[in-house]
Amino acid sequence: MIASILCGVSAPVAASATSGSISAAPAAAAAPAATAPVAATATARAARNTPPPAPADFRAAWVCSVLNLDFPSRKGLTNTELKNEIDAIVGKAADLRLNALIVQVRPSGDALYKSRLYPWSEYLSGAQGVAPADGFDPLEYWIEQAHKRGIELHAWINPYRVTHTTANITDPAALSNDNPAKLDPSRVVEYKGALYYDPGQYKNKKLVINGVVEIMKNYDVDGVHLDDYFYPGVDFPDDATYTQFGRGIDKADWRRGNVNDIIRGINRAVARQNAKQNTNVRFGVSPFAIWMNASSSPHGSDTRGSESYKTMYADTRRWVKSGWLDYICPQIYWYRGFEIADYAKVLDWWAGVCEGTGVDLYIGLAAYREHERSADDEHWKGEIVAQLQHNARVYPNIIKGSVFFRYNSLLGDLGVQISEYYEKADRRRGN
């Protein structure tokens, strides 16, 4: 998401905290049709132990499955090993005083859960389309263990990516036989060494939305989550689709409309499914933090970086103002005082956008930058806790929580510092 080629969030168009520059890196509706229930997991809802909805202080970590970054730690683990890793992550999250985990369950057009729409992920077995032994369902186990500890479980999906650039797969024929991209190669476009579902095709919008409905029908998740991965680049080769469906609209506006269709469509599908199931699943997005610079729009932020509105075709401000989300979690991955994109200034902009909208504002924090900082990098020394303190001091009634990228970055001293911060906060509140 979030940092470089990590978590399926391709490299966000990100500001370099060391070079002082921001470089453009690749990012990457109609009513959904009914999806068939998954019998093996249909009984999970009856025995739910769901945490309270929308905690007042949302404290979460992203858990990446792409490239086996956080979970699973490697391909080919046994069911027992998978369960042990889930238990360890959930236990550590509780120790850190987190109350939510955002687990990447669809990293590359595949699934870490039983699906009728997407193949099993290669990050589990080592081969796409191969299920875990004995009917084991990792997502079902994630939910069960998280809820036992009073921790929310949000299912994080990547809507468009079919293959990761590191996989070196540009031919749909190389995918598993049950992969929608192999069954219908016209769905996908090759771009810079990877395959993507073409966002402009109606059938791909429908697939993404149906995938959300399938998860909600079959799993007791607390949220559905998208990151910053939308169009993977301004030179994405979708001329044929634009010619067919563009209807004379400016191409950039047409692309933004395609992404809007996904956001609005998921919002409607979640609301409709919640009403059917009497559930409270929440829909959120964690976008790149710069919508537009003030130099491009009077409504933009006091920044000089790449703009998600223009590079990923993500009109994030509109999503908030239109109420298409339950929460938004901008990835403000810069330190306070950074000249091109000052953390505090970007935070101010998002607080202004969200105030009074009913959309909860969580802040995505770059724990990985502090965790991985060089010894002589003073900018990130103690920065994450300082940002938490800044948020609580300046916007105690607007900022509703924080999400840390990523789980493994919290295993050292930084995790201890965050836990101590939350412990003091809880004492002040009498918790």
**Rounded CA separation 63/76 (Å):** 18
**Rounded CA separation 158/162 (Å):** 9
Q: Is the dihedral of CA 379, 382, 385, 389 positive or negative?
A: negative
**Rounded CA separation 59/329 (Å):** 12
Q: Name the pLDDT band for 54 (thresholds 50, 70, 90).
A: low
Task: Please state, rounded to an integer, the average pLDDT across all residues of the chain.
Answer: 90
Task: Give the total number of structural domains in the chain.
Answer: 1
DSSP string, 76-126: T--HHHHHHHHHHHHHHHHHTT--EEEEEEESSS-BSS--SSSPBPHHHHS
Could you list the residue range(s) of the whole structural domain that residue 101 is in?
A: 6-429
User: 388 — phi, psi (to 5°)?
Assistant: -60, -45
Q: Name the pLDDT band for 377 (thresholds 50, 70, 90).
A: very high
Residue 1 lies inside a defined structural domain of this protein = no
Q: Name the pLDDT band for 3 (thresholds 50, 70, 90).
A: low
Rg (CA), the chain: 20
Averaged pLDDT, 85-100: 98
Convert the pLDDT of each residue in 96-134 to its tens digit: 999 999 999 999 999 999 999 999 999 999 999 999 999
Averaged pLDDT, 262-289: 98
Provide the pLDDT for residue 430: 83
Q: What percent of the chain stands above pLDDT 70?
A: 87
Averaged pLDDT, 216-229: 97
Q: Name the pLDDT band for 429 (thresholds 50, 70, 90).
A: confident
Question: In the beta sheet, which residues pair with residue 360?
Answer: 327
Q: Name the pLDDT band for 29 (thresholds 50, 70, 90).
A: very low
Convert the pLDDT of each residue in 320-370 to its tens digit: 999 999 999 999 999 999 999 999 999 999 999 999 999 999 999 999 999
Averaged pLDDT, 72-78: 98
pLDDT above 60: residue 246:
yes
Give ∠ CA 181-115-73 in degrees, rounded to 5: 90
CATH number for the domain spanning 91: value is 3.20.20.80
Averaged pLDDT, 136-165: 98
DSSP, collapsed to helix, strand or coil, labels residue 150 as: coil
**Rounded CA separation 344/47 (Å):** 44
282 membership: H or E segment, kind and range:
strand 282-285
Residue 83 lies inside a defined structural domain of this protein = yes
Provide the pLDDT for residue 47: 42
Residue 20 lies inside a defined structural domain of this protein = yes
Q: How far is CA 409 from CA 89, 93, 370, 405, 422, in A?
A: 12, 12, 8, 7, 17
Residue 393 lies inside a defined structural domain of this protein = yes
Q: Name the pLDDT band for 272 (thresholds 50, 70, 90).
A: very high
Query: Which residue type sits at 403?
Result: V
* Structure token pair of residue 101: 């985990």
